[in-house]
């Protein structure tokens, strides 16, 4: 598939899950394609970084379902911050582990999973979706019912896949990409740096324990070397810190973002990658 074919399967108003973590292994080429599309009114579920920030800056986001938004080396995501402070996005806050439980509940097709996480905190005041549940067993204790975060579509970036969607990560952590891909029943798309024959997957991964994404979880594969740029995608490439700093600087004014958009977003992905290589 191409990024354009992925985006053609998405609709305005959808709840879209995005894999990766902070500014690490984000499916940025698909994010850039969404920004060029007429899609709007999206609910984004993410351990968020520039994925959420860019989509907010481009006016694509109605609601953010997140536990944090960070660029890692720059602590706060500047575009998300701006959108929040201007009151432009609805905010549905979670704890990191609670977000994991919500994805797990969706993946297991149950409406919630009980947890102590959130008790005593303002999550219960500020996230109107959160409800309490009482243990039906002898302890009778009250817990938070972390709600199933069922997704309409999912996008992730992995390192290698075969054409059917069996995929692997080569970096330090899968993060929660497998849970994201299981939290939707349809519209599960991955981009990868390289598509390889199935027979080469184990060799590419290094061992079979790294084959954590199967084609049961994937509906389409986009081959896009550098598709995670400018986020970290070890061992293919580190985070492009200079580029990220420029991106962060584009939150300084509408004019600055217009210039960033003109140069880096309103161009085809092929052109983007050529311009990055020429920097």
Partner 1 sequence: MANAPTTGEFTRADVCAIALAECFRNDGEILANPIGTLPMVGGRLARATFEPDLMMTDSEALLITNDQAYSWGDAKVIETYNPYRTMFDVVYSGRRHVIMGASQIDRFGNQNIAAIGRDYAHPKRQLIGFRGAPGNTVYNKTSYWIPNHSTQVFVDQVDVVTGVGWDRAIAAGPSVTDFYNLHRVVTNLAVLDWETPDHRMRLRSVHPGTTVEQVVALTGFELVVPDNVPQSRTPTPDELTILRRVIDPQDRRQREIANNS
Q: In DSSP terms, which residues pair with 112 in a beta bridge?
A: 147
Give the containing element (helix H, strand E) for 79.
helix 78-85
- Least Cα distance to 41 among 69, 10, 14 occurs for 14
Closest approach of partner 1 to the CB of residue 70, in Å: 6
Touching partner 1, residues 124-143 (CB under 8 A): 126, 141-143
* Range in contact with partner 1 (rule: CB under 8 A) among 7-15, 115-123, 155-163, 269-277: 115-123
Residues in the chain: 279
Size of the site for partner 1 (CB under 8 A): 40
CA angle 153, 155, 156 (to 5 degrees): 145
Annotate 85-154 with DSSP letters as a single string.
HTT-SEEEE--HHHHHHHHHHHHTT-SEEEESTTTTSTHHHH-TT-EEEE-SSTT--EEEEEEP--BSEE
Closest approach of partner 1 to the CB of residue 126, in Å: 5
Among 9, 63, 81, 261, which residue interacts with partner 1 (rule: CB under 8 A)?
81
* Range in contact with partner 1 (rule: CB under 8 A) among 77-85, 155-163, 187-195, 258-266: 77-85
Structure tokens at 153: 């579509």
* Range in contact with partner 1 (rule: CB under 8 A) among 25-33, 35-43, 92-100, 235-243: 92-100
Contacts of 268 (CB under 8 A, 6+ apart): none
| x-or-dash string of contact with partner 1, 141-180, rule CB under 8 A | xxx----------------------------xxxxx----
In degrees rounded to 5, what are phi and psi of residue 9?
Answer: -85, -10
Closest approach of partner 1 to the CB of residue 97, in Å: 4
Touching partner 1, residues 2-61 (CB under 8 A): 21
* Binding residues vs partner 1 (CB under 8 A): 21, 66-70, 75-76, 80-81, 84-85, 87, 90-91, 93-98, 100, 115-123, 126, 141-143, 172-176
């Amino acid at each position: 598939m191409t990024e354009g074919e992925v985006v053609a399967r998405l609709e305005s108003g959808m709840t879209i899950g995005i894999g990766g973590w902070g500014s690490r292994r984000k499916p940025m080429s698909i994010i850039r394609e969404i920004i060029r599309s007429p899609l709007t009114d999206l609910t984004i579920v993410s351990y968020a970084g520039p994925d959420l920030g860019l989509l907010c800056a481009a006016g694509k986001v109605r609601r953010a379902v997140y536990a944090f938004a960070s660029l890692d080396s720059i602590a706060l995501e500047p575009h998300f911050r701006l959108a929040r402070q201007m009151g432009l996005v609805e905010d549905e806050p979670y704890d990191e582990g609670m977000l994991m439980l919500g994805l797990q509940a969706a993946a297991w097709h149950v409406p919630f999973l009980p947890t102590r996480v959130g008790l005593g905190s303002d999550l219960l005041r500020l996230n109107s979706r959160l409800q309490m549940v009482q243990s039906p067993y002898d302890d009778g204790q009250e817990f938070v019912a972390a709600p199933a975060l069922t997704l309409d579509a999912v996008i992730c970036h992995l390192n290698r896949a075969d054409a059917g969607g069996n995929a692997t990560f080569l970096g330090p952590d899968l993060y929660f990409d497998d849970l994201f891909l299981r939290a939707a029943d349809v519209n599960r798309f991955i981009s990868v740096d390289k598509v390889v024959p199935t027979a080469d997957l184990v060799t590419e991964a290094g061992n079979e324990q790294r084959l954590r994404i199967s084609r049961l979880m994937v509906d389409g594969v986009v081959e896009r070397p550098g598709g995670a740029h400018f986020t970290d995608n070890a061992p293919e490439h580190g985070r492009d810190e200079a580029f990220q700093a420029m991106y962060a600087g584009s939150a300084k004014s509408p004019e600055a973002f217009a210039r960033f958009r003109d140069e880096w977003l309103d161009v085809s992905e092929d052109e983007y990658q050529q311009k990055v290589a020429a920097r």
